[in-house]
């Protein structure tokens, strides 16, 4: 076995069969003009399918709510015109032999750091907060919550109808669903708030249950989660395995098949006080606790994390031995790669063919072009 073989073992869950373990991480590109994906977006994703990415996750694409996005060029995942654009995307990816799911998103009350554009109606969130002690927009009513859950379910049903292979719900990074999870932004005293992470997970659990009902039993559902928030990189929702279980298990019961555990650096242990500095990462603990499949992510093949890339920090290529070791230990099932696939659509094929040293190095300039 060559040392990268573990990455190229097929993977199957429900109706989804993947040729390898590599996932393209969801990356907002803000290049769907006015919210409508077109031929350039289809060509961009098709190139990664031609480059042998096992599963492509789209950039975050938003549900049918009045203020569900924070950038004018973030794509809609609703309405005839946008969905026709997405149909062009999935058909192009399938033509190249790829598999793909949209990342279904609501940005909550988070302001974009890429643009001054704001929606023309008030943004919504659990407690009218963008972050701790940072008021913005309006707190959601029961009706807003019910409509939002229905809009997530509708988007997932549309994903399946258009021919996508899977759907990912964006529950990470401080956006709407994460604003419910986090006590820094959820001060509600109704059924959607509470002192414990289990109580604050109710919005996510109801969303997942509605999505499951909309797509049927065999269509895989992924949820992306993170401990860190863009509002606070040190924030944590689960500070022990028991707390993590109370957070994740109800979501697995509601219908999640795969937990996509977002870290900025995949090699960082989640609970080093329990299993040491080389201990399980977030995806490792999520798999151990729930028995569900998991995806890890964070600086694969690169020397520095993605937050630095937004402020123009250069990175260099780095080896993937630590990743292979964790995968050989069966710590998690799949691994997502972000920036490395922006700079080099053929990253997967090069790694598979032993040409890892020929990978194009990511530069922050890649963020400005859709190629």
Residues in the site for ligand FMN, rule: CB under 6 A? Answer: 25-28, 59-60, 103, 170, 172-173, 224, 262, 297-300, 302, 305-306, 309, 337-340, 367
C-alpha to C-alpha distance for 40 and 19, rounded to whole angstroms: 25
C-alpha to C-alpha distance for 80 and 86, rounded to whole angstroms: 10
Minimum distance of ligand FMN from residue 154's CB (angstroms): 20
Minimum distance of ligand FMN from residue 28's CB (angstroms): 4
Q: Give the residue nearest to ligand FMN (CB).
A: 338
Looking at the Cβ atoms of 185 and 309, the one nearer to ligand FMN is 309
C-alpha to C-alpha distance for 37 and 97, rounded to whole angstroms: 20
Minimum distance of ligand FMN from residue 370's CB (angstroms): 11
Q: Which of 110, 108, 90, 91 is nearest to 100 (CA)?
A: 90
Looking at the Cβ atoms of 60 and 137, the one nearer to ligand FMN is 60
> Could you give the count of Cα atoms lying within 13 Å of 43 in the half-sphere of its Cβ?
7
Looking at the Cβ atoms of 188 and 229, the one nearer to ligand FMN is 229
Looking at the Cβ atoms of 209 and 318, the one nearer to ligand FMN is 318
Minimum distance of ligand FMN from residue 340's CB (angstroms): 6
Looking at the Cβ atoms of 208 and 297, the one nearer to ligand FMN is 297
Minimum distance of ligand FMN from residue 322's CB (angstroms): 14
Minimum distance of ligand FMN from residue 112's CB (angstroms): 11
Minimum distance of ligand FMN from residue 199's CB (angstroms): 24
Looking at the Cβ atoms of 148 and 245, the one nearer to ligand FMN is 148
Torsion of CA 338, 294, 250, 13, to 10 degrees: 110
Looking at the Cβ atoms of 248 and 320, the one nearer to ligand FMN is 320
Looking at the Cβ atoms of 14 and 264, the one nearer to ligand FMN is 264
Minimum distance of ligand FMN from residue 173's CB (angstroms): 6
């Amino acid at each position: 076995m060559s040392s990268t073989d573990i990455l190229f073992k097929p993977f199957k869950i429900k109706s989804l069969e993947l040729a390898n373990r590599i996932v393209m991480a969801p990356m907002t590109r803000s290049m769907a003009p006015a919210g409508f994906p077109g031929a350039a977006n289809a060509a961009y994703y098709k190139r990664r399918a031609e480059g042998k990415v096992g599963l492509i996750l789209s950039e975050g694409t938003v549900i049918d709510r009045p203020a569900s996005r924070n950038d004018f060029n973030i794509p809609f995942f609703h309405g005839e015109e946008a969905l026709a654009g997405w149909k062009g995307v999935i058909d192009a990816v399938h033509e190249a032999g790829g598999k793909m799911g949209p990342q279904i998103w609501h940005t909550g009350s988070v302001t974009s750091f890429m643009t001054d554009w704001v929606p023309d109606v008030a943004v919504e969130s659990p407690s009218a907060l963008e972050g701790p002690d940072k008021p913005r927009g309006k707190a959601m009513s029961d009706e807003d919550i019910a409509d939002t859950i229905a809009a997530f379910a509708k988007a997932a049903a549309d994903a399946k109808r258009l021919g996508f292979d899977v759907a990912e719900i964006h529950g990470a990074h401080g956006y709407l669903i994460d604003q419910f999870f986090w006590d820094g932004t959820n001060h509600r005293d109704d059924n959607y708030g509470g002192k414990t992470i289990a109580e604050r997970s109710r919005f996510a659990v109801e969303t997942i249950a509605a999505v499951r009902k909309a797509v049927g039993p065999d269509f895989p559902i992924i949820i992306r989660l993170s401990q860190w928030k863009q509002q606070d990189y040190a924030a944590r929702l689960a500070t022990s395995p028991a707390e993590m279980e109370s957070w994740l298990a109800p979501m697995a019961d509601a219908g999640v098949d795969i937990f996509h555990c977002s870290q900025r650096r995949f090699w960082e242990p989640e609970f080093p006080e329990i299993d040491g500095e080389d201990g399980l990462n977030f995806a490792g603990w999520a798999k151990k606790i729930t028995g569900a499949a998991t995806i890890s992510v964070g600086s694969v093949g690169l020397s520095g994390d993605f937050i630095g890339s937004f402020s123009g920090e250069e990175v260099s290529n780095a080896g993937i031995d630590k990743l292979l070791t964790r995968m050989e230990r069966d710590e998690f099932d799949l691994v997502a790669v972000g920036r490395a696939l922006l700079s080099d659509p053929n990253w997967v094929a090069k790694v598979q063919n032993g040409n890892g040293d020929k990978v194009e190095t990511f530069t922050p300039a890649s963020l400005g072009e859709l190629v």
